[in-house]
Amino acid sequence: MTLLRLIARVLLGAALVYAGIGHLTFARTDFYAQVPPWLPLDVDFVVIASGVVEIALGAALILLHRWRVPLGWIAAAFFVLVFPGNISQFLTHTDAFGLDSDRDRAVRLLFQPVLVVWALWSTGAWAAWRRRRTEGESHGRA
């Protein structure tokens, strides 16, 4: 794994830990804005649970190098799973995190796919999937 990927993975992990701590402490009420109103769960539970998941996932990305590929897929899936919350914040015109206009909230939506790609690239998950796929194709031709 290249140094750049290692740095990117650690930065992603640190960002997740920071965001998770925010869920539990200083940004807790801002995170309420991202819980879709149609979700049949207590808002506080969702914010706390997602914060705990972010802390655990971020720490794992930093510390568990051997598990980086499956962790990359898990992180990518996590970013996909929380995306409806970002969409909900946009559709309900809810201000939080300094996002006080539809334009700002729309721009934020564009960054979620970046997080998915970041998780897959920085952990080598995408490269590992392509290698397995290529190897499988070459074995099928033999």
The pTM (predicted TM-score) of the whole model is 0.89
Which residue range forms the structural domain that includes residue 110?
Answer: 3-130
The H or E element containing residue 105 is helix 102-122
Predicted confidence band of residue 139 (pLDDT cuts 50, 70, 90): low
**Residue 142 is assigned to a structural domain of this protein:** no
**Residue 139 is assigned to a structural domain of this protein:** no
The contacts of residue 38 (CB under 8 Å, 6+ apart) are 88
Number of domains in the chain: 1
pLDDT over 80 at 44, yes or no = yes
**Residue 136 is assigned to a structural domain of this protein:** no
**Residue 138 is assigned to a structural domain of this protein:** no
**Residue 135 is assigned to a structural domain of this protein:** no
Cα 88 from Cα 84, distance rounded (Å): 6
pLDDT over 70 at 134, yes or no = yes
